[in-house]
Structure 1
């Protein structure tokens, strides 16, 4: 080049485009930050609608604790209350069938098994020849979960009823389907099972 401006030396100036490296780095960083903010906001919304992970974990811990407490706690009695011994139960043995001698035979056997015997004879008119099953166990309302289940171990399948009597005596009314009392070993086993506490299963949804 001539004139006023001259180029001297071995090196010549080169015309280059401005570098955009710095702008590119800034753009990428901004994108990453924006994505992070969007992701965090999404997680917050999920927690709001689902109750959050912490709530779920806390609930699970509560369920496990409740289930363990149920399994390790004392189990209630099979009937929910203390059962009387046969020697404290007075049984009236009444025959509602046309077969003679059943009341006395049954009363004698119950006495051998430890029950106290009250009246022995024929059933009153309201039950005479009207009990179709093996028998009817009749007593006051308080006997429904106490004396009657104990007596029922001697005559499985007998119907249970209550009335408005004043005393604590219970009736064993022999029905048309009666054959014999349960064998003494079977009755003893049934009575032991009745008195054995039963573990309570954990409520649905509360196990670990």
Structure 2
């Protein structure tokens, strides 16, 4: 070549085209994105025209919630069959060192409608051996009838049964922790709750 600048030497530089890898990669990503959007749109159209109802049904089945059955209020369960205080004979026994406590308690129980049997000191197996408020002792049959009624008068007492007892009387054995019978209003409320009918459970059904 002539002119001011000349090429010297036995080799000539090779002229290569500029590499365009970055542009090709960008075009590939753009094409893939366009194809993805096109496929998603096609699926949406198919779902609208064919599968929408089935999807809604499946979703509704999964979202079922329990609901109370419509209709009248349930009838209450029958009241618990328990004897009245006038049908219960109570022996009041004093297991403490406090004199006259059995008679005072017996008099108060009589005012509340209970029949009173023996009023005396507790037998040796209980005498001065009860730290709590007291013990209610009766035959096996009294476990769910007589003893709960008597327990409304002395809530802190321990209920026990004696399989060897032949009569229907129950014992109220006073312990060292005894501070008096329950207040009449509280005892009456507890007795009313014991005998009151309880509502039956409400049936439940599922709704979608």
The bucket for the TM-score relative to the shorter chain is: 0.5 to 0.7
- 1:155 aligned to 2:154? yes
TM-score relative to the length of structure 2: 0.63
Q: 1:153 to 1:43 in 2, by over 3 A?
A: same
1:38-53 alignment runs, 5 A limit: 40=50, 52=58
Q: 1:202 to 1:104 in 2, by over 3 A?
A: same
CA distance, structure 2, for counterparts of residue 157 and residue 198 of structure 1: 24
CA distance, structure 2, for counterparts of residue 207 and residue 175 of structure 1: 54
Unaligned runs of 5+ in 2: 1-40
Corresponding residue for residue 99 of structure 1: 98
TM-score relative to the length of structure 1: 0.63
Decide which structure has greater helix share: 1
CA distance, structure 2, for counterparts of residue 131 and residue 95 of structure 1: 10
Unaligned runs of 5+ in 1: 1-30
Q: 1:177 to 1:207 in 2, by over 3 A?
A: farther
Corresponding residue for residue 168 of structure 1: 168
Q: 1:93 to 1:39 in 2, by over 3 A?
A: farther
Corresponding residue for residue 191 of structure 2: 191
CA distance, structure 2, for counterparts of residue 42 and residue 104 of structure 1: 83
CA distance, structure 2, for counterparts of residue 187 and residue 33 of structure 1: 73
Q: CA deviation at 1:56?
A: 5.5
CA distance, structure 1, for counterparts of residue 42 and residue 155 of structure 2: 79
CA distance, structure 2, for counterparts of residue 163 and residue 118 of structure 1: 18
CA distance, structure 1, for counterparts of residue 131 and residue 44 of structure 2: 85
Corresponding residue for residue 8 of structure 1: none
**Secondary structure of the corresponding residue to residue 135 of structure 2:** strand
- 1:64 aligned to 2:60? no
Q: CA RMSD in A?
A: 3.6
**Secondary structure of the corresponding residue to residue 161 of structure 2:** strand
**Secondary structure of the corresponding residue to residue 64 of structure 1:** strand
CA distance, structure 1, for counterparts of residue 45 and residue 183 of structure 2: 81
Q: 1:34 to 1:178 in 2, by over 3 A?
A: closer
Corresponding residue for residue 138 of structure 1: 137
Count, aligned residues: 166
CA distance, structure 1, for counterparts of residue 150 and residue 47 of structure 2: 75
CA distance, structure 2, for counterparts of residue 143 and residue 65 of structure 1: 39
